[in-house]
Amino acid sequence: MAETSINPHVGDGNNAAPSPLDWLIRRPMLLAWTVALGAATFFWLFGQPWAKWAFKYPSAWKWKISKEISAGMEWLMNEATFGLFTFRELTRAISWVIEKPYEIVLSLLSTGFLEGQGSQAIQIIPPLSWIAVLTVVVLLGRYVKDWKLGALLGGCFLYLVVFGQWESAMVTLSSIMIAVPLGIIAALFVGLLGYRSVWVERAITPVLDLMQTVPVFAYLVPVLIMFGFNAVSAMIATMIYAMPPMVRVTMLALRQVPSEIVDLGTMVGCTRRQMTWKVLIPSAVPTLMIGVNQVIMLSLNMVIIASMIGAGGLGADVLASLRSLNFGGGIEAGFAIVFLAIALDRLSQAMAEKAPASHGDGQNEGILKKYPYTVFCTAVALITGIVGTSWGVSWASWIGGPSWGMYSAAVQDYPEAWTITTGAFWSDIIKHINVNYFDYIDAFKGMLLTNFLVPFKRFLVSLPWIAVVLLLGLAGYTLGRWRLACLCMVLSLFIAVVGLWEKAMITIYLCGISVLVASMIGMPIGIAAAQRDRLWRVVQTIIDTLQTLPSFVYLMPVVMLFRVGEFSAIIAVVAYAVAPAVRYTAHGIRQVDPQLIEAGIVSGCTPFQLLTKVKLKLAFPEIMLGLNQTIMLSLSMLVITALVGTRDLGQETLIALTRARTGDGIVAGLCVAFIAIIADRLIRAGAERMRTRLGLQ
């Protein structure tokens, strides 16, 4: 055993075996790694007594940056001024801009237009009736694509009505309807600036990286302090969360506009504004719509988290049930979010694919023929609106008696008596499982924890931080020379210096285990699906749907079965992060040049050899990127699992949120972001090298 580990490669070549030392010297990187790992192991085993500081970062050396951030925040709110107006006035102005349109949409969908204040308010115009909203979404589906989409949308919204989620759903929908367009417009402008100026792009790219990796909880606190506990804060946080991909997509989409089209714009003498709005953006619309879809999905993902800082609606319902362990109620509200997400996702995708109406001779034919959908929707809204008012109700009762009156009222508000609830059903199932199988589940969980999870966690926490920082530096140097080495060391050192090393290690442990499990599940599925077209179609549908679900939804069933704790967290993270592992593996394999596969077959490969020697080798860079995505999703989900009781950086941000400590939240959030960035850069650099070596560039 010892011999082989010293010199595993003797006999590689045919010529006389070189001495192992020669062999190593000719491979400087390998030599460096051997030395470094050996030294690190030695230090880890025997260094503790004489270098305690290297194992536990001394609190005396800690950089108290979080206090400074909190103080800065306070100064910003109380003293900062721009000469003409103070910072606080600025935040109020922003609030106002967002609040006004929100109030209008909310009135239309939920509260009705009111006169007067508070409880004395009188409703002048009722909100749109549920029948009217249903009509609108069904016809919208028909208009954008076909009756099938209309039926799907109608079905999703019908769920909201029948299961008594309407009120909350309309509140959520209102905030989405404001946050999404505002987010899109803002992102479009930022993206446009980035497109026009390389400098702006260089400045915003790292900001976007941070925005996408810093956990949401971290910036909820400053948003909360600046804008207060209300729906506006929630919408702003949603916009911050949902914007970055749209900014990237905008820059990409504008760059992808063929240069000939830009030349055309110049040749016909476009001014800059004409070029932007008449040439560039219309030509980029198909790609831009992908970004729009992303903004919508991310906004829905935020629904529950945003309710922590004042968004009402479905998110607040879910959060409340999760806190009171009322699983049945939580599941119904959770499903409501899911159905809303599916409806909006399919609708926006269909919009993205919708080509302008084909050549009809759009001659004027009167308003009804020209806008049949609009006319019909308005009519339904008006009629149901009138029938549902108290005036309509009394009129109906007068004509057909009290039952008519009841129906008439039901047109406006779906009667509570008609709603269905399955809450008890879900609670019973969980109860049944827990009564009958709790012992097995618990034993299984306990076995995994004591034998695998806890030892791994202890190992990571016991590592000397200085050695980890240096090894990361070496990894960076191996894959991307000094730049990457410096980046890795500086970022990891930051984590140690702010005193969050141990929590960070727990995050890495949870993330690592989850990624490992997710890859072990996802990659074989991906490999299997890649080689069978029908299976791939099924798998694709499933992972598409999984990725539509808001991350919170994964938490509920897990907590019900496994209670709170790290184990539940890991399972939820795995469920959330498995999709990219499947997707990228399958993609990578399916992308392999068919000629190379034919070459393999002609060379006499067995199917297994074909897979291992051709397909997997060539798909490797793509699979690495899948791994990268899995890590990113795991980290973002991990933070949310803090709600079910992990003791990592995620929990740190959550505590900061509940205690409204800006600095703590931001610092812990940055640590999570840095872990993500280190992993991302290392893996990307590795994949890049691999691609170059394989000539896939």
Partner 1 sequence: MADRAEKLVCNSVWKLFGAGAEDLLKRTGGAPTVEQVAEGGLIGAVRDASFNVLEGEIFVIMGLSGSGKSTLVRCMSRLIEPTGGEIIFDGNDLLKATANEMVELRRHKMGMVFQHFALLPHLTVLGNVAFPLEVQGIDRGTREERAREIIELVGLQGRESYYPRELSGGQQQRVGIARSLAVEPELWFLDEPFSALDPLIRREMQDEFLRLQNVLHKTIVFITHDFDEAIRLADRIAIMKDGAIDQIGTPEDLVVRPATDYVAEFTKDVSRAKVLSVASVMSPAPRRKPAGGYGGEIPVETKIGEVASRMSDGDKPFAVLGSDGKQVGQVTKDAVVGVLIQG
Considering the complex, what minimum distance in angstroms separates the CB of residue 177 from partner 1? 25
Q: Should residue 256 be labelled a site residue for partner 1 when binding is judged by CB under 8 A?
A: no
Give the whole-angstrom CA distance, residue 577 versus residue 522.
9
Binding range to partner 1, per CB under 8 A, among 188-196, 253-261, 389-397, 533-541: 253-261
Tokens of 263: 């030349």
Residue 49, φ and ψ in degrees, nearest 5: -60, -40
The answer to whether the Cα torsion of 61, 65, 70, 71 is positive or negative is positive
| Nearest to partner 1 of 275, 644 (CB atom) | 275
Under the criterion CB under 8 A, does residue 258 sit at the interface with partner 1? Answer: yes
State which of residues 260, 365, 416, 533 lies at the interface with partner 1 (CB under 8 A): 260
Would you state the structure tokens that stand for residue 49, as one six-digit string? 């007594």
Closer CB to partner 1, 38 or 282, in the complex: 282
For 252, list phi and psi in degrees, rounded to 5: -65, -45
Asked whether 334 and 163 are in contact (CB, 8 A), the reply is: no
Structural contact between residues 153 and 408, judged by C-beta atoms closer than 8 angstroms: no
Question: Which strand (E) or helix (H) includes residue 125?
Answer: strand 122-125
Contact string 338-357 vs partner 1 (x = CB under 8 A): -----------------xx-
Rg (CA), the chain: 29
As beta bridge partners, residue 122 has 115
Q: Where are the beta strands (DSSP E) in 60-100?
A: none
Q: 356-375 mask for partner 1 (x: CB under 8 A)?
A: x-xxxxx-------------
Site residues (CB under 8 A) for partner 1, limited to 603-632: none
Q: Which residue has the tokens 């446009």?
A: 192
CB of residue 405 to partner 1, shortest distance in Å: 51
Sign of CA dihedral 301, 304, 307, 308: negative
Q: Which is nearer to partner 1, 83 or 269 (CB)?
A: 269
Nearer CB in complex with partner 1: 256/419:
256
Neighbours of 232 (CB within 10 A): 25
Decide whether 58 or 286 has the Cβ nearer to partner 1: 286
Specify the residue, 272 or 534, whose C-beta has the smaller distance to partner 1.
272
**Least distance (Å) from partner 1 to the CB of residue 203?**
22
The span from the CA of 520 to the CA of 524, in Å, is: 7
Question: What residues does 115 pair with on adjacent strands?
Answer: 122
Give the span between the Cα atoms of 640 and 216, in whole angstroms: 9
Least distance from C-beta 268 to partner 1, angstroms? 4
Shortest spacing between CB 362 and partner 1, in angstroms: 7
With CB under 8 A, what is the number of residues at the site for partner 1? 25
Closer residue to partner 1 (CB): 287 or 326: 287
Report the C-alpha gap between 77 and 20 in whole angstroms: 65
In terms of DSSP H, where are the helices of 270-413?
272-274, 281-306, 313-323, 327-353, 367-370, 372-388, 390-400, 402-412
Stretch binding partner 1 (CB under 8 A), from 78-86, 216-224, 254-262, 631-639: 254-262
**Interface segment toward partner 1; rule CB under 8 A; list 206-214, 259-267, 333-341, 371-379:** 259-267
Shortest reach from residue 258's CB to partner 1, in Å: 7
Task: Write down the least CB distance from residue 270 to partner 1, Å.
Answer: 5
Residue-by-residue DSSP string for 509-569: HHHHHHHHHHHHHHHHHHHHHHT-HHHHHHHHHHHHHHHHS-HHHHHHHHHHHH-SSHHHH
Closest separation in Å from C-beta 190 to partner 1: 23
List binders of partner 1 among 262-291 (CB under 8 A).
263-264, 266-271, 274, 278-279, 282-283, 285-286
Give, as ranges, the residues between 130 and 189 that touch partner 1 (CB under 8 A): none
The smaller minimum CB distance to partner 1, of residues 15 and 358, is found at 358
Nearer to partner 1 by C-beta: 15 or 271?
271
The verdict on 261 binding partner 1 (CB under 8 A) reads yes
Taking the complex as a whole, the smallest distance from the CB of residue 199 to partner 1 amounts, in Å, to: 17
Q: Return residues touching partner 1 (CB under 8 A).
A: 258, 260-261, 263-264, 266-271, 274, 278-279, 282-283, 285-286, 355-356, 358-362
